């Protein structure tokens, strides 16, 4: 079976969305960890751990967002 060619318009749209939404999600989740660490005056190590955990949540959210975006705007076809 031959595959359909890559739709460059869809691919560029998905790349732009990944950059935009990824920056928003990961940046906001990182900032949430930073804010909670400062709000509760946590030790800097605990604060950094919160930032990492929250940023991982941001990456997971980006993964599921892109999975849905690719389903609705396929690269091939």
This prediction has a pTM of 0.87
What span, in angstroms and rounded, lies between the C-alpha atoms of 49 and 14? 31
Instruction: Please report whether residue 77 resides in a domain.
Output: no
- Residue 77 pLDDT class (50, 70, 90 cuts): confident
Is residue 72 within a helix (H) or strand (E), and if so which, with residue range? helix 44-72
Instruction: Please report whether residue 1 resides in a domain.
Output: no
Instruction: Please report whether residue 41 resides in a domain.
Output: yes
pLDDT per position as a tens digit, 32-73: 999 999 999 999 999 999 999 999 999 999 999 999 999 999
Instruction: Please report whether residue 46 resides in a domain.
Output: yes
Please tell me the total count of domains within the chain.
1
41: left (phi over 0), alpha (psi -120 to 50) or beta: left
Instruction: Please report whether residue 39 resides in a domain.
Output: yes
Instruction: Please report whether residue 3 resides in a domain.
Output: no
Q: Note the pLDDT of residue 1.
A: 58
- Residue 3 pLDDT class (50, 70, 90 cuts): confident
The domain of 59 spans 8-71
């Amino acid at each position: 079976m031959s595959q359909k060619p890559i739709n460059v318009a869809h691919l560029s749209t998905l790349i732009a969305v990944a950059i935009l939404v990824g920056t928003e999600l990961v940046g906001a989740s990182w900032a949430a960890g930073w804010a909670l660490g400062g709000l509760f005056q946590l030790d800097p190590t605990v604060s950094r751990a919160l930032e990492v955990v929250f940023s991982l949540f941001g990456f997971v959210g980006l993964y599921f967002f892109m999975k849905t975006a690719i389903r609705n705007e396929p690269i091939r076809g």
